[in-house]
Amino acid sequence: MTAVKITPLGAGQDVGRSCILVSVGGKNVMLDCGMHMGYNDERRFPDFSYIADGGDLTEHLDCVIISHFHLDHCGALPFMTEMVGYNGPIYMTHPTKAICPILLEDMRKVAVERKGEVNFFTSQMIKDCMKKVTAVNLHQTVHVDSELEIKAYYAGHVLGAAMFLIRAGGTSVLYTGDYNMTPDRHLGAAWIDKCYPDVLITESTYATTIRDSKHCRERDFLKKVHTCIERGGKVLIPVFALGRAQELCILLETYWDRMNLKVPVYFAVGLTEKANNYYKMFITWTNQKIRKTFVHRNMFEFSHIKPFDRAYMDNPGAMVVFATPGMLHAGLSLQIFKKWAPFEQNMLIMPGYCVAGTVGSKILNGAKRVECEGRQVIDVKMSVQYMSFSAHADAKGIMQLIRQCEPQNVVLVHGEDTKMDFLKQKITQEFGIHCYKPANGETITIPTKPKIFIDVALKLLKENLKSTGSSHLHGLLVSKDNTLRLLDPEVATNELGINFHQIRFTSTVTLEDPGTSSQTASRIYRTIKSNLKDYAVQLLTDGSISVDSVLVKVSGCEDDESKSVLVSWGYQDENLGSYLLSLVEGLSS
């Protein structure tokens, strides 16, 4: 019996600062290394002293895996590598490696240049950190060392997001990161094969939510935007730089075309251009429609959506602005909010989840006055709308993933405690498996039974089923190149270059029978012949009887009433040999 140990340093009964320590098959892996958007103190980054208090992180960790480029999953990575000193392997997909440094630098500028924070990582540290990253392809099995391997699967959510399957010591753990089981306007749905992990670690952001249809949500979004601009109001849509931003831009671009609208739509300067470059570079990560259309036109080059200038904030009349960051915790989106919030004709549409402690979270919880940077208090009179375009799996999607991969145990992370309780109960009832929800700093130990996978030759499988009529397989087990194969003995001996020797099993029955050995043999022959009409039963010249490859032979002195009857068979004739033995034993009684 082995065990998997799991300790969240972040995202344990909480959303934000994803960082999960996993010990599997004697290997220690860190899953994500994020920052918490709701804090500006030491709680912002994971507490790495938990891993090695004053010691070397590299000695205690075999690798770090980053699931995607959102800062709550990668924001602490430069701090960990360049300031704490981790120097071991780091893995992420190619798009994640390309986009991570852009978002890290944006976040660094906000923290240092605008807020004046000290003891923060520098631009050079971000570059040095990314040099240590190894980029991986989807479905590529990467051997971290001789005992630890990882494999990435498509997660949807954002460009380059991946779920990771980790195998070590005959035990496996699947970590989802953030994922979406529903395709959208620019990305496909998450996909995983039936990998039967010992433990599935899944996000549970929307543990109690079952979303309405995508079409209804989009229609409602467009209606709200149109109503606001018709009355001359301004619409602020806080977004992450890549992901929902492109999804909603495609939606508005199509609607503006169809309705022939002239109201200006803006996107934060620079980000649109950068986003387009990455979507061009990694077009294979988008959905089928985007890939097919890309041959004729790039759907990320918008004719109605223009770059935003800060001077436009005070422009009169209606407008729609996409601004970062997505939780109103800093940057341009917060500055625009402070300007527009006091006016009733304006509207804020929050298209995704907001971490507790952010301005976005406070407003969504109904706050009419909020304190922002520099203790400035803002009266919120604008209309506040929440519309979940967040690319996370809902409760239905989480259950669907569990059905697809069939884990032995489930661990819930990246969610709220009370919502996790509901989902935990549902998983236990529906699948009959253990479900856990560890808090930050809490270690859970999950016992597992190591599995040994053996490749069985199809020909051998068919022959065994045909000859024995049972599911028992007889063959030669060959271990080669870290794989186990069950082969037909003759095939195996040829492949290994050794002589074939067949082992036969022999049982002896003492038979009280007067007369000669040949008379006893004839009696046994007649009995077998009458009971096995479908078999080739032969009485050989030496007095022995053959039934296919099973041999029955009588031995003993001619005048001795006590005879020995030997029944001999090969491994493929176990059932037939046993049956003939029982026939001979029946004669003795």
Confidence (pLDDT) at 487: 80
Listed residue (399, 397, 370) closest to 382, CA to CA: 370
The CATH number given to 504-586 is 3.30.530.50
* 156: Cβ contacts below 8 Å, ≥ 6 apart: 179, 180, 181, 182, 183, 184, 187, 188, 189, 190, 391
CB atoms within 10 A of CB 492: 19
Where b means 16+ CB within 10 Å and e means fewer, 431-449 reads: beebbbbbebeeebebebe
Q: Which two tokens stand for residue 257?
A: 């075309």
Per-residue pLDDT of the chain (589 residues), as tens digits, is 689 999 999 999 998 899 999 999 999 999 999 998 778 888 889 999 889 877 789 999 999 999 999 999 999 999 999 999 999 999 999 999 999 998 898 888 878 766 678 778 999 999 999 999 999 999 999 999 999 999 999 999 889 999 999 999 889 999 999 999 988 878 899 999 999 999 999 999 988 888 767 788 889 999 999 999 999 999 999 987 777 778 888 899 999 999 999 999 998 766 566 777 788 788 888 888 778 776 666 667 788 888 888 899 999 999 999 988 778 877 888 999 999 999 999 999 998 778 777 888 899 988 898 887 667 888 999 999 988 777 788 899 999 999 999 999 999 999 999 999 999 999 999 999 999 999 999 999 999 987 677 778 777 777 666 655 555 666 777 877 667 888 877 777 777 777 766 677 888 888 888 888 888 888 889 988 888 888 888 888 888 899 888 888 988 766 677 888 888 887 778 888 888 888 888 887 5
Q: What CA–CA distance (Å, rounded) separates 129 from 302? A: 34
Following CA atoms 68, 10, 407, 92 in sequence, which dihedral angle do they give, to the nearest 10 degrees?
20
Please tell me which residue in 59, 105, 203, 406 is annotated as part of the active site: 203
Rounded alpha-carbon distances, angstroms, from residue 235 to 264, 323, 400, 535: 11, 11, 36, 86
CA 470 – CA 482 distance, rounded (Å):
29
Determine whether domain 3-210+391-447 maps to CATH 1.10.357.10.
no
- The CATH number of 214-386, from 3.40.50.12780, 3.90.550.10, 3.40.50.10890, 2.60.260.20, is 3.40.50.10890
3 state DSSP class of 130: helix
Q: How many CB atoms lie within 10 A of CB 201?
A: 29
CA–CA gap between residue 100 and residue 393 (Å, rounded): 22
- With 0-12 / 13-18 / 19 or more C-beta atoms within 10 angstroms meaning exposed / middle / buried, residue 383 is middle
Q: Helix-strand-coil percent breakdown of the chain, rounded to 5?
A: 35, 25, 40
In the numeric block, which tokens belong to residue 362?
């406070």
Q: What is the pLDDT of residue 468?
A: 52
Angle at 440 between CA 439 and CA 445, to 5 degrees: 65
**Cα 109–Cα 112–Cα 114 angle in degrees, nearest 5:** 75
- Is 0.85 surpassed by the pTM of this model? no
List the domain boundaries for the chain: 3-210+391-447, 214-386, 454-496, 504-586
**Residue 203 a catalytic site member:** yes
- Nearest by Cα to 381 from 328, 345, 419, 349: 345
**Which pLDDT belongs to residue 297?**
64
Distance CA 181, CA 199 (A): 19
pLDDT at 250: 85
